[in-house]
């Protein structure tokens, strides 16, 4: 096909095989559309193009000659900062609207209005609900589970709409020194929606022109995601769908079955996909599948929906973001069911080359040419059955099927509580063993590697290189989203991976506790689990007073969307060092770039870097962790790092 053949598009052998097929058949994918976009607009890449008002668009020259201000006088720093925090607001809105829907589903379930059937919604983890009620100071005496759930859901909905005060979780969960810092900076949000509205106001033409002031509000907006919208999605998701437990499953295109009906759920919200998994086990539908010549019904996931049903149901993962078109190109997907976020509109045209039906289910996300079946929590199970039936009936329409063999075993399902029950070794939920391992120098620290695939990079390559480098240096890695799927495909989420790739200290811990050196914490909203884990590490003692003291770091090495930007922002607001690549669109302003990558450390304790080489980025993360170890006067590392053998 086009120039995409000239570069390495993916390190995943399954993806390589399917891409060879699509190339041979002249079928276009995101890689081809990427190449069609070259050469890119340099102003756009550098963040110095402004189209906020109708006098523009304006662009700032990065050279000696040419305009240094927009028509209104906005500088490169103002323009780049305004657009960046608009991206933060969009990312915060995406995660938080998802959280809102989960809280609402819990409310309807508790009111008995989300009817379903015996297999419909139920409060799967009353224990988690009781825990949250205790934490929120809600009395549970003489109240039914439903009454408590209603009360909690009503309170949670106020986190979105409150116009004064502070969102709940920062003060409930974060260490006092961190809360004090946030209060000094004025970055604890009053409510999720308020901060998003204020971002849109401040970035309107003629309002906030001070790039530092804009970024500070970006941090506050992002806090409303990490410490409210996403955190509520995780907590209320655990109440409604059950708290994950360590679970074994498989990943990659090879999980699709030639002789079964394959339904791929793609997107983010667990509400519908949970029902589809349940409906796929319905004896009536299994019988129908057999009548159509299939041996059974498989439900596999793509993107974060995959992570949700993996964590709680052990459902197989078909792939990450750049696998969406490839899954369809196997010819084996009878229905591609999508809800919201990370869904390429190109899927519809692509699917027309095969027998696959693309079904949209959210009023917020329709695609021209797709079949739309509106999902409603009140009739969730009926809708799920209808969709499974469509897939079953589409099974006999398959053309040639070509499923790559590749599939890899993985362990997932880690949470703040169960991970450290594992680390405790004796079913004690305590962070002591983790802290002790860090203090003694057996473990260097913890890194969160998260985020997407980005067609600008070779799929999965940066995730794998970075994570191998980190674990070789005795850094325990926690992962979410498409990053976790990338590493799962390469076998890094298996306990045996420790012996292959981890440094000696991390190996000892993994072997003693039976965990992989890379822990899968779930979907992208579950990055809130990372924040809570960091709070627990401080609470356990010995690693400083505030989150910024911890020997930890974060990275999104193949970042793709605004949700990744907001995650970076709330991590930096929380005192973390974050390497983000490709670079945010700020490089056209040296002042803004310096603020984000240097000066902001004085403000929040965290900062960004934009290193694109994953090994160099990992070394920067390690250097930051070492800097924090030194400040805490921790013991020297017990073992020298190993050299990761990438041939294994
Ligand atoms: O919310 S990692 S490509 S799927 S955005 Fe999208 Fe990025 Fe994947 Fe999940 Ni997260
Ligand atoms: Fe140009 Fe200013 Fe309008 Fe942006 S806000 S388009 S810089 S005039």
Give residue-wise pLDDT tens across range 480-501: 999 999 999 999 999 999 999 9
Distance CA 602, CA 598 (A): 8
pLDDT at 251 over 70: yes
The answer to whether the CB of 209 is under 6 A from ligand 2 is no
The answer to whether the CB of 55 is under 6 A from ligand 2 is yes
Cβ within 8 Å of residue 308, ≥6 positions away: 237, 241, 268, 269, 270, 273, 274, 301, 522, 523
Among 341, 459, 554, residue to substitute to test ligand 1 (most atoms within 8 Å of Cβ): 341
Task: Read off the pLDDT of each residue in 462-476 and give the average, rounded to a whole number.
Answer: 98
**pLDDT per position as a tens digit, 33-84:** 999 999 999 999 999 999 999 999 999 999 999 999 999 999 999 999 999 9
Higher pLDDT, 381 or 647: 381
Which ligand is nearest the CA of 203, by number? 2
Which ligand is nearest the CA of 49, by number? 2
Contact 232, 104 (CB under 8 A): no
Which ligand is nearest the CA of 205, by number? 2
SS3 353: coil
The answer to whether the CB of 56 is under 6 A from ligand 2 is yes
pLDDT at 439 over 60: yes
Which ligand is nearest the CA of 449, by number? 1
Which ligand 1 atom is nearest residue 320's CA? 8
Among 192-206, 282-296, 368-382, 607-621, the minimum mean pLDDT is found in 368-382
Tell me the CA–centroid distance for residue 171 and ligand 2, in Å.
39
pLDDT at 515 over 60: yes
pLDDT at 165 over 50: yes
Q: Is 319 left (phi over 0), alpha (psi -120 to 50) or beta?
A: left
pLDDT at 208 over 70: yes
Among 452, 453, 530, 570, residue to substitute to test ligand 1 (most atoms within 8 Å of Cβ): 452
Task: Read off the pLDDT of each residue in 111-121 and give the average, rounded to a whole number.
Answer: 63
pLDDT at 113 over 80: no
Q: Which pLDDT value is given to residue 117?
A: 47
The answer to whether the CB of 187 is under 6 A from ligand 2 is no
**pLDDT per position as a tens digit, 192-204:** 999 999 999 999 9
Q: Which pLDDT value is given to residue 642?
A: 87
Which ligand 1 atom is nearest residue 564's CA? 5
Confidence band, pLDDT 50/70/90 cuts, at residue 5: low
Ligand 2 atom 7: residue of nearest CA: 70
Tell me the CA–centroid distance for residue 53 and ligand 2, in Å.
5
Contact 45, 62 (CB under 8 A): no
Q: Which pLDDT value is given to residue 424?
A: 56
Task: Read off the pLDDT of each residue in 406-422 and give the average, rounded to a whole number.
Answer: 87
Q: Which pLDDT value is given to residue 377?
A: 84
Distance CA 528, CA 225 (A): 9
Which ligand is nearest the CA of 91, by number? 1
pLDDT at 122 over 70: yes
pLDDT at 420 over 90: no
pLDDT at 275 over 50: yes
**pLDDT per position as a tens digit, 570-619:** 999 999 999 999 999 999 999 999 999 999 999 999 999 999 999 999 99
**pLDDT per position as a tens digit, 607-646:** 999 999 999 999 999 999 999 999 999 999 999 988 765 5
Q: Which pLDDT value is given to residue 112?
A: 79
Ligand 2 atom 2: residue of nearest CA: 72
Which ligand is nearest the CA of 74, by number? 2
Q: Which pLDDT value is given to residue 1?
A: 45
Contact 367, 348 (CB under 8 A): yes
Tell me the CA–centroid distance for residue 317 and ligand 1, in Å.
14
Q: Work out the angle between the directed axes of helices 432-440 and 504-513 (0-180°, nearest 10).
A: 160
Alpha-carbon distance values, 637 to 406, 504, 616, 632 (Å)? 38, 11, 20, 13
Q: Which pLDDT value is given to residue 255?
A: 98
Confidence band, pLDDT 50/70/90 cuts, at residue 3: very low
Distance CA 374, CA 360 (A): 8
Which ligand 1 atom is nearest residue 304's CA? 9
Higher pLDDT, 124 or 421: 124
Tell me the CA–centroid distance for residue 58 and ligand 2, in Å.
6
**What does pTM read for this prediction?**
0.97
SS3 357: strand
Q: Which pLDDT value is given to residue 423?
A: 64
pLDDT at 281 over 90: yes
- Across the chain, mean pLDDT equals 95
Ligand 1 atom 7: residue of nearest CA: 452
- Tell how far CA 485 is from the center of its chain: 11
Q: Is 252 left (phi over 0), alpha (psi -120 to 50) or beta?
A: left
Among 59, 72, 588, residue to substitute to test ligand 2 (most atoms within 8 Å of Cβ): 72
Two tokens, residue 50: 């402004």
Tell me the CA–centroid distance for residue 87 and ligand 2, in Å.
17
What letters, b where the CB count within 10 A reaches 16 and e where it falls short, cover 610-623?
Answer: bbeebeebbbbbbe
The answer to whether the CB of 205 is under 6 A from ligand 2 is yes
Tell me the CA–centroid distance for residue 560 and ligand 1, in Å.
8
C-beta neighbour count of 469 within 10 angstroms: 23
The answer to whether the CB of 72 is under 6 A from ligand 2 is yes
Which ligand is nearest the CA of 267, by number? 1
**pLDDT per position as a tens digit, 130-164:** 999 999 999 999 999 999 999 999 999 999 999 99
Which ligand 2 atom is nearest residue 206's CA? 5
Which ligand 2 atom is nearest residue 73's CA? 2
Closest-CA residue to 28 (of 325, 348, 389, 259) = 325
Tell me the CA–centroid distance for residue 70 and ligand 2, in Å.
5
Tell me the CA–centroid distance for residue 52 and ligand 2, in Å.
6
Distance CA 474, CA 509 (A): 10
The answer to whether the CB of 340 is under 6 A from ligand 1 is no
Tell me the CA–centroid distance for residue 288 and ligand 1, in Å.
34
Contact 470, 618 (CB under 8 A): yes
């Amino acid at each position: 096909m086009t120039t995409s053949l000239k570069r390495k598009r993916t390190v995943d052998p399954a993806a390589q095989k399917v891409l060879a097929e699509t190339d041979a058949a002249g079928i276009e994918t995101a890689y081809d559309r990427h190449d069609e976009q070259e050469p890119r607009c340099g102003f756009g890449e550098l963040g110095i193009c402004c189209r906020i008002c109708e006098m523009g668009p304006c662009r700032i020259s990065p050279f000696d000659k040419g305009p240094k201000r927009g028509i209104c006088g906005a500088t490169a720093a103002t323009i780049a900062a305004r657009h960046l925090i608009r991206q933060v607001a969009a990312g915060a809105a995406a995660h938080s609207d998802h959280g809102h829907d989960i809280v609402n589903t819990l409310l309807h379930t508790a009111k008995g209005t989300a009817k379903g059937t015996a297999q419909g919604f139920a409060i799967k983890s009353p224990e988690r609900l009781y825990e949250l009620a205790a934490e929120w100071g809600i009395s549970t005496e003489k109240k039914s589970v439903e009454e408590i759930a209603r009360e909690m859901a009503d309170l949670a909905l106020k986190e979105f709409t409150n116009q004064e005060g502070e969102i709940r979780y920062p003060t409930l969960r974060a260490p006092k020194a961190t809360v004090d810092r946030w209060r000094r900076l004025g970055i604890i949000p009053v409510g999720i929606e308020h901060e998003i509205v204020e971002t849109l106001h401040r970035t309107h033409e003629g309002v906030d022109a001070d790039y530092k002031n804009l970024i500070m509000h970006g941090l506050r907006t992002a806090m409303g995601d990490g410490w409210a919208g996403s955190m509520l999605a995780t907590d209320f998701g655990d109440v409604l769908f059950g708290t994950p437990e360590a679970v074994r499953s498989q990943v990659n295109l090879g999980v699709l079955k030639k002789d079964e009906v394959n339904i791929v759920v793609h997107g983010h919200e667990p509400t519908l996909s949970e029902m589809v998994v349940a409906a796929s086990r319905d004896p009536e539908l299994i019988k129908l599948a057999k009548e159509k010549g299939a041996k059974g019904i498989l439900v596999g996931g793509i993107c974060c929906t995959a992570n949700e049903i993996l964590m709680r149901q052990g459902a197989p993962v078909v792939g990450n973001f750049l696998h969406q078109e490839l899954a369809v190109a196997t010819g084996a997907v009878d229905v591609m069911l999508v809800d919201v976020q990370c869904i390429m509109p190109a899927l519809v045209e692509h699917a027309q080359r095969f027998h696959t039906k693309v079904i949209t289910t959210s009023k917020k996300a329709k695609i021209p040419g797709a079949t739309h079946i509106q999902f409603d929590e009140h009739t969730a199970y009926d809708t799920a059955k209808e969709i499974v039936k469509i897939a079953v009936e589409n099974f006999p329409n398959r053309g040639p099927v070509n499923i790559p063999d590749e599939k890899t075993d993985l362990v997932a399902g880690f949470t703040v509580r169960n991970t450290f029950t594992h680390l405790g070794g004796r079913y004690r939920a305590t962070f002591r063993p983790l802290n002790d391992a860090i203090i003694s120098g057996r473990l260097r620290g913890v890194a969160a590697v998260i985020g997407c695939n980005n067609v600008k990079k070779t799929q999965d390559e940066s995730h794998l290189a970075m994570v191998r480098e980190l674990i070789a240096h005795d850094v325990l890695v926690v992962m979410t989203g498409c990053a976790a799927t990338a590493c799962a495909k390469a076998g890094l989420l298996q306990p045996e991976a420790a012996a292959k790739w981890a440094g000696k200290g991390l190996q000892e811990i993994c072997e003693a506790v039976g965990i992989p050196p890379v822990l899968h914490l779930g979907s992208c909203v579950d990055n809130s689990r990372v924040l809570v884990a960091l709070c627990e590490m401080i609470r356990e003692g010995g690693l400083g007073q505030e989150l910024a003291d911890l020997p930890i770091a974060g990275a999104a090495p193949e970042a793709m969307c605004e949700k990744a930007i907001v995650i970076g922002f709330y991590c930096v607001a929380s005192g973390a060092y974050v390497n983000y690549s490709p670079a945010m669109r700020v490089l056209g302003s040296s002042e803004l770039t310096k603020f984000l990558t240097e000066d902001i450390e004085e403000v929040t304790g965290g900062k960004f870097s934009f290193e694109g080489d994953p090994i160099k980025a990992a070394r920067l993360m390690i250097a930051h962790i070492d800097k924090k170890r030194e400040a805490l006067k921790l013991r020297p590392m017990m073992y020298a790092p190993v050299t990761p053998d990438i041939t294994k």
